[in-house]
Amino acid sequence: MLTLYDAPRCPFCARVRIVLAEKQVPYDAVEIDLTDRPAWIYDKNPSGKVPVVEEDGWILAESAVVAEYLEERFPEPPLLPADPAERALARLLIFRFEDFSDPYYAFRRGEGGGAERFGQEVAHLEALLTRMPFLTGRSYGLADIDYVPWLIRARDLYGFPLDPFPAVRDWVERLSERPAIDAELEVVAALPR
Ligand SMILES: N[C@@H](CCC(=O)N[C@@H](CS)C(=O)NCC(=O)O)C(=O)O
């Protein structure tokens, strides 16, 4: 049985929770208190960060790497396109994630210009989603899963309006119809404000 060292508030953990749910992989979740992390988590990940997955003493950290590992280990349903070019573009978006997340965290910290910078990144997603239905390409997959936890938190926890970005708003709505994403919406709704 796979173990996920997890934190409900953590959007990086959300990526792994969503992939596991999509692939219907059973797992044990060990919740880590991010405000008072146990010393032993550093034995599993030297940075002390979650998510971490473990199975029979084998350990893997870094959410995007874990998501790709799960994709290879549990190929059904596929979450990367079959076409190599489409696959590469999905990976490129995942590779460039910090272009999106750095402004998100600037917005969250209330830094001057943070909301505007984050808005520019959401506008970039808006442009992509007017050209294709999913960030992964023609079908839903890992690029969608790797970005949507931040959009959900921005909207539901931090009051970032998605209405000015109709393609992004509708994409979040469409994704929310999936049980794996709906479960994540419930995790976020239950978080203390
Ligand atoms: N690059 C890592 C980032 C994980 C991360 O930042 N996790 C946060 C919680 S959302 C964490 O554990 N923070 C503790 C810390 O920064 O010390 C990944 O993708 O897994």
Backbone angles phi, psi at 161, to 5 degrees: -75, 130
Give the pLDDT of residue 110.
Answer: 96
Residue 120 CA: distances (Å) to CA of 17, 95, 125: 28, 18, 9
CA of 172 to the centre of ligand 1 (A): 23
Ligand 1 contacts CB of residue 49 (under 6 A): yes
Q: What atom in ligand 1 is closest to the CA of residue 32?
A: 12
Active site residue: 2, 4, 7, 10, which one? 10
pLDDT at 6: 98
CA of 35 to the centre of ligand 1 (A): 12
In this predicted model, what pLDDT tens digit does every residue of 15-74 receive, in sequence order? 999 999 999 999 999 999 999 999 999 999 999 999 999 999 999 999 999 999 999 999
pLDDT tens-place string over residues 146-172: 999 999 999 999 999 999 999 999 999
13 is an active site residue: no
38 Cα to the center of ligand 1, angstroms: 14
Q: How confident is the model at residue 182 (pLDDT cuts 50, 70, 90)?
A: very high
Q: Is the CB of 68 under 6 A from ligand 1?
A: no
Ligand 1: residue whose CA is nearest its atom 12: 49
Across 100-119, average pLDDT = 97
What is the residue-averaged pLDDT of the chain? Answer: 98
Answer whether residue 193 shows pLDDT above 90: no
Answer whether 41 contacts ligand 1 (Cβ < 6 A). Answer: no
Strands 2-6 and 52-55: antiparallel
Instruction: Please tell me the predicted confidence (pLDDT) of residue 138.
Output: 98
Structure tokens at 64: 């995007």
